[in-house]
Amino acid sequence: AQIPEFAQLGPLFHSSARVALTDEVTEYTVHAIKHIFTNHVVIQLDCKNTLNDQLLENVFVELEDPDGEWSVDHTIPIDILPYNEVKPTYVLMEFPESGSVTGSFGATLKFNVKDVDPATGEPESDDTYEDCYVLEELELSVGDLVAPVIKQNFMV
């Protein structure tokens, strides 16, 4: 774990494939990668701002478990997300005491918007306003918890 907040999680067991939580042609794009540790899941959410007239600040994804089993322990937001840049935000969750390893989470991208001049990328003022963008549900499945095994020789 190269992120200090996650150093105590121990060795990484498995990382899932990248999953889109938005269409590619929306105002903001978000892709999720699920990193599995012994007792925790770290969700890496790669966010991209596709609007050239906005600078996003304090960007994070809020995850909600409708069943109430999972809870977020820690979130690392993106301080500043300029136009056309991809940066990650992270969500840390501990596996529930119930023993559940799967879940379906409502996901909402939350951020502050600062209007910028599209030609220069410079803020038009210091004013910001809160906004949000509803994402596709994030699924945590048994397949995310299984590391693939590459069998070189099927005769063995």
pLDDT digits (tens, 9 = 90+) for 54-105: 999 999 999 999 888 999 999 999 999 999 999 999 999 999 888 888 889 9
Q: Residue 70 class from Cβ within 10 Å (0-12 exposed, 13-18 middle, 19+ buried)?
A: buried
**DSSP one-letter string for 28-80:** EEEEEEEEE-SSEEEEEEEEEE--TTEEEEEEEEEEE-TTS---EEEEE-EEE
| Domain ranges, residue 64 | 4-144
The answer to whether residue 151 sits within a structural domain is no
If one counts the domains in the chain, the total is 1
Domain assignment present for residue 41? The answer is yes
Give yes or no for residue 26 having a pLDDT over 70. Answer: yes
Domain annotation covers residue 155: no
**Between the ranges 3-12, 49-58, 143-152, where is the mean pLDDT highest?**
49-58
Give yes or no for residue 4 having a pLDDT over 80: yes
Whether residue 124 contacts residue 116, with contact meaning beta carbons closer than 8 Å, is answered with yes
pLDDT of residue 1: 45
Do the Cβ atoms of 37 and 3 come closer than 8 Å?
no
What is the arithmetic mean of pLDDT over 13-24? 93
Rg (CA), the chain: 18
Instruction: Kindly report the average pLDDT of the chain as a whole number.
Output: 90
Q: Is residue 153 part of a domain?
A: no
In a domain, 152, yes or no: no
Q: Is residue 156 part of a domain?
A: no
CATH code of 86's domain = 2.60.40.1480
